[in-house]
Amino acid sequence: MKERNIAAWICACFLFLLKSIAMGQGAFPGPKSTGPAESFKLTVEPAWIAYGKPNTMGKSEMEKKLFPNDNKMVEFFFIDNVLGPRGFRIDSVSTNSYIMEIAWVTDYKMINKRLSEVFPTQSIGPNDFDNMQEEKLDEIRMFNRKQNNKRIQTALEQYTIERIEFQVKSDLARHLWETCFFVMKNYKSKGIAPISFDGCSVTFRCIVEDFSLWTFFARNPVTHVKNLTTICNEMIKKVQQKGEITDEEKYIRQLDDVLRESTQSQTRMTE
């Protein structure tokens, strides 16, 4: 039985890759590559890299800190310089039974403020570009890059993660998955999002038909991605306050609105 399962898994992965190669990027509507500032990116890849081993190579170290080990049916990850990293994931535990897990960093600002003093960087003023030799500028850039990498790695080791798990209805789980998937699928860029070092980034991830992993990343999200991000952040805030989502119907209606707008937008663009 185990050998038959392995053979079935290998066959499914082979068919997935063969279809991707044969059809090219047209097989997966939506953005396929980043803009100059990596403002958005859609990645479609196998959900498994080996039998029984989930594909988590596309996750950042911070994502793995919040949600280690595997991928769930739908995941949301958000980070900004004010509230820090946070997100949720939903998975089925049995037929029509779903668990939502909320996770966030509780001491993001405090740790980064302290570590910025432990690993200080050198500033480069406007006049330095005219008065300083290029070799010296490169030396400062290299030093700052190393300091930032040390700060980031040390912070990852010191962050305090708080988690809350609770059961959600199948309607909310299904609506979240459908909305995430179709927003990713139908997304069309309307210009490069403004570059901001104080901005935010969001990642949506969902498993499609068990063998396909869709991941959408956006910096300073706009249009439907922004609306969906707002809903997801509101749900996280509600759970932080109440310990659960007590008004699922409200969020289902909001998700329906985003899904409808996304679908209508795609229809208008193809007419």
Please state, for a pLDDT cut of 90, what percent of the chain lies above it: 60
Q: Is the pLDDT of residue 236 over 80?
A: yes
pLDDT band at 17 (very low <50, low <70, confident <90, very high): very low
Strand 161-168 and strand 200-208: the pairing is unpaired
> What mean pLDDT is predicted for residues 61-83?
93
Residue 18 confidence (pLDDT): 40
Choice among 119-128, 236-245, 250-259 with the minimum mean pLDDT: 119-128
Residue 30 confidence (pLDDT): 44
Q: Is the pLDDT of residue 224 over 80?
A: yes
Residue 22 confidence (pLDDT): 37
Q: Give Cα separations from 52 to 47, 55, 63, 106, 208 (angstroms).
A: 10, 10, 21, 33, 17
Radius of gyration over alpha carbons of the chain, in Å?
Answer: 21
Look at 117 and 36; give whichever has higher pLDDT. Answer: 117
Q: Is the pLDDT of residue 34 over 60?
A: no
pLDDT band at 37 (very low <50, low <70, confident <90, very high): very low
For residue 91, the cross-strand partners are 99
Residue 33 confidence (pLDDT): 41
Residue 124 confidence (pLDDT): 82
What does the pLDDT look like over 116-138, one tens digit per residue? 999 999 988 777 777 788 888 88
| Residue 105 exposed, middle or buried by CB count within 10 Å (0-12, 13-18, 19+) | buried
Question: Amino acid letter at 56?
Answer: T
Residue 266 confidence (pLDDT): 61
Q: Is the pLDDT of residue 5 over 60?
A: no
pTM tops 0.85, yes or no:
no
> What mean pLDDT is predicted for residues 32-61?
80
Provide the 10 A C-beta neighbour count for residue 185. Answer: 18
pLDDT band at 210 (very low <50, low <70, confident <90, very high): confident
Residue of 77, 70, 140 lying closest to 103 (CA atoms): 77
Strand 212-219 and strand 86-94: the pairing is unpaired
What does the pLDDT look like over 146-179, one tens digit per residue? 999 999 999 999 999 999 999 999 999 999 999 9
Q: Show Cβ contacts of residue 229 under 8 Å, excluding neighbours closer than 6 positions.
A: 78, 202, 221
